[in-house]
Amino acid sequence: MIVKRLTTSDYGTLANSLFTHAIPPESAEVSLVLRWSGKTGAASATDAGTNRFEFKGIFTHATLSWSAIVPSLNFAFRSNPARTSHETFAELVNEQNGVFFGTEQVQD
């Protein structure tokens, strides 16, 4: 998957983006290259209780390189090349939750 110059907002900190919004966001752009490869096993989980979700999919391998720019702050970041990335784990899954939990609307 390749994403080029996706416009987004930079809130500066996680706390500002999720909770306070005390500092207005800055306009930003991100680009990334994500590559999935191989299948190393099956992945699935179900919680019919409080969380109400189910997912089925595969464990796989992935590499990622990305960059971001925030022009108003004169900030730019570029990760190391994808070939240097190291995954802890990678999964591709189809998840159902909320009102879709337990329905027959499964995407193949």
Q: What is the pLDDT of residues 41-58, one digit of tens each?
A: 999 988 888 888 888 999
Per-residue model confidence (pLDDT) at position 97:
83
Per-residue model confidence (pLDDT) at position 23:
93
Quote the distance between the C-alpha of residue 4 and its chain's center: 15
With beta carbons less than 8 A apart as the criterion, state whether 64 and 32 touch: yes
- Greatest Cα-to-Cα distance within the chain, rounded to the nearest angstrom: 49
C-alpha triplet 29, 83, 40: angle, nearest 5°: 105
Query: pLDDT tens, 55-105?
Result: 899 999 999 999 999 999 999 999 999 989 888 889 998 888 877 777 765
